[in-house]
Chains A and B, each alone.
Chain A
Amino acid sequence: MIEVNNLRKEFKKTIKEPGLKGSVKSLFHPKTEKIAAVKDISFDIADGEILGFIGPNGAGKSTVIKMLTGILTPTSGTCTINGKNPTHNRKNYVREIGVVFGQRTQLWWDLPLRETYGVLKEIYEVPDDKFKERMDFLNEVLELEDFITSPVRTLSLGQRMRADIAASLLHSPKVLFLDEPTIGLDVVVKHNIRNAIEYINKKENTTVILTTHDLADIEMLANRIVMIDKGSNVFDGTISELKSKYGQIRELNFDTNDSEAKERLVYAKHFKVNEEDVIVEQEGNMVKVRFDSSVIPVSDMLTYTLGKIKVNDISVKDADIEEIIARLYKHEVG
C-alpha cells in the first residue's frame, strides 16, 4: 500500500550572525546551511494497517507526513502510495487520501461548518445519498450536531479537531494521515476519536498513519510502530516486539507490614548488579521494585524477595510502553 524508500529531506537554513553587523552581512551574503530533517528513511505499510509513527520532538515526523501527502517534494528517495507518487499528479493523488494536521485546520475559517462539508462534498464529488449516510455516521461518532451551524473560527480546539477529522473522512479515503489528531482533547473526545478511527479502519479497511505523543493512542490503535529520531529509523515492529526487544523492565509490587523493607532488600548487592538496574521505592506498606529482567530473572527476584521479608500480596507487572519509549528517546537503551 505504502512504500517509502530512502526518503530524504534537506532544508536550507540561512544562518545569521548575531547583532546588527550580522544582519547587514546576511543581507548581502546570506550564508546558507543544509540541514537534513529526514535522513534516508524506509518502511512499508500494508493495506488496512494502522501504523503508529512516533519519535521525539523535531524527529522529522511531520516532515515525512508532508512528503507522503505531496505537500513537500523529497530531496531524494521515493514514496509510493497505492501505486502513486504524491508529487506527480497531485490533484489525482489527494482524492484518495484524508489528512489531518492537528495544529492546523483545513476548514474554511469563515464558513459555518455545515457549509464547509457542502464544499468538500462538491470537491470530492460525493453523491448525495452517500454524503447523507456519511454525515449521519460522522455526526454520531464525533457528535458534531452541537456546533455544526457555527462558523469554524468560533469553534473550540476540541470541536475543531472533531470537525477536521470528520472532514478528512467525508470522501472515504483509502489512506488516512493523522499528524497529532488528539492534541488538546479531553478524555471522552479522545476516546470517541480513537473509536472512530478504529471503526473506519475495520469497516473500510482504511490504511492509517498516525503520529502522536499520546502513547495510549498507539497502544489502542496501532498494529505496528515505526520510531524515528533525528531523521533516522530507530525501530520498526509491533508493540510486543518493542516490548521484548527493549522492555525487559519489570515492576514488582508488593504489600508488606515491614516498614523497613526498602532497607532490608539489598538487591544490587545480592545480585551483584549496578544500582540503576534495580530501583526500589516504598510508600507505607506498598513497595515498588523496577528491574531489568534480562539482568535478574524474575524467578530469582521473587525467591530472594519472598525469602527476605513477609509479604501480604505480590504481583509482577509487564513493561509499560511509555517507559520503554521514554528510555529510547533518552538513548538509555538501543
Chain B
Amino acid sequence: MRKKLKIYLPFVNAGMQETATYRTNWVFWQLGNILGCFISYFLWRAIFVSSENGSMNGFTMPQMIVYIFLMFLTTTLINSGGTYDIGEEIRDGSISMRLIKPISYNATFLFQELGNKIMTVCVLIIPLVAGVEFVRYRFTGEVQFHILMFLLYFLSAIFAYLINFFFNICFGFIAFVIKYLWGANMMKNCIVGFLSGQIIPLAFLPEMAKKVFLILPFASLNYTPVMIYMGMYTGTKMLMYIGLQMFWVLFFWGLSKLLWSVAIKHLSVQGG
C-alpha cells in the first residue's frame, strides 16, 4: 500500500503543477461557472417571486439560493475530465505512453486529477462555504453551520467524485470503439446535468420520475451531497443514500475494469 502510494503520489504532484501552469485558464473556467451560477440564481428568484406562497415543493427561496450555490460547489468538486482526456489520448495516440509504463492506467488518471482537485478545493471551498453560510444567516438570523454535517457532506462528495470518475472512464472507453466522441460527450453532460439535479432539484419532479431518478447513479453525484449539507437527508435516510453511493462507486469501478480489458484488445494506436 505504501509502495503503491509512493508510485502514484508523483501524479498528484504532476496534477497540481499542471493546474498551476494553466492557472489563468483555470480562473476563467471558474469565473464562467460562477456566472452561470448567478444566471440560475436570478432565474429562480424570478420564479419564486411570482409564486404565491413563497415556497415550492418544500423549498423556500433562501433554500433554493443555498441549493444553487451548493450545487455549483459540488459540481466543481466532483467534476472529472476522464472522458475527454481518454478520448483525446486515444485520438492522438499518446495513450501508448501510459501503456509502456508498469502502472495502472486508471490510477494514473485518478491521482493526476486528485492533484488538480486539491488546488481547486483549497482555492474555492472556503469562500463558497462562507458565502452559503452568509446567505443562510441572513435569511434565518442564526448560524446553521454544523461541522459534522459539513464532514458528512465532504465524505459524500468524495464518493460522488469516485462515481463520476469511474463513470467517465467507462464512457471514455467508448472512444476505443468510436475513436472520437466529442459529440457523445456533450450529450452525456446534458443528460447527467438534468438527472443529477443540477438544473432543477429532483424534488420538483413528478413523484414517479423522482422515485426512479433518485435510484439512478446520477442522483448519487451532486444531489445526495447537497441534500446532506442542507439537512434534507438525515438519519437512516442519509445512511441509505450514502450506502447507495458506495454501491455505485463499486459498480462503476468494476465496470471500468471490465471495459478496460475488452477495450485494450481493440485498441488501435494511431500515429507514428
Binding site for B on A (CB under 8 A): 11-12, 62, 66, 69-73, 87, 90-92, 94-95, 97, 99, 101, 103-106, 108, 110-111, 115, 118-119, 122-125, 151, 179
Contact = CB atoms under 8 A, between A and B. Distances in A.
Contact of B272 (A70, A111, A118, A179): A179
Chain B interface, DSSP helix/strand/loop, else mixed:
helix
Would you list the 6 A-B pairs with minimal beta carbon distance, nearest first?
Answer: A119-B10, A106-B97, A95-B102, A71-B96, A62-B272, A99-B100
Nearest to A97: B100
Contact of A124 (B14, B93, B102, B269): B102
Contact of A123 (B7, B13, B93): B7
B94 A104 contact: yes
B267 A91 contact: no
Given A71-B100, A91-B103, 5 more contacts: A62-B272, A70-B100, A71-B269, A104-B272, A124-B102
A236 to B, nearest CB: 23
Nearest to A96: B102
A122 B96 contact: no
Interface string B201-231: 0000000000000000000000000000000
B11 interface: yes
Contacts of A115: 10, 13-14
A230 B272 CA distance: 16
Interface residues of B, number: 28
A132 to B, nearest CB: 17
Nearest to A101: B272
Contacts, number: 78
A101 B103 contact: no
B102 A94 contact: yes
Contacts of A119: 10-11, 14
A73 B265 contact: yes
Interface of B: 3, 6-7, 9-11, 13-14, 17-18, 21, 93-94, 96-97, 99-104, 264-265, 267-269, 271-272
A123 B4 CA distance: 9
Contacts of B6: 122
A70 B99 contact: yes
Contact of B102 (A71, A108, A123): A123
- Highest count of chain A CB atoms <10 Å: which of B17, B100, B271: B100
B272 to A, nearest CB: 5
Contact of B96 (A73, A101, A108, A124): A101
Contacts of A125: 3, 7
10 contacts: A62-B272, A69-B99, A87-B264, A91-B102, A94-B100, A103-B272, A106-B100, A110-B18, A122-B9, A123-B101
Contact of A103 (B3, B267, B271): B271
Contacts of A101: 96-97, 272
Nearest to B8: A122
A108 B104 contact: no
B267 A72 contact: yes
Contacts of A69: 99-100
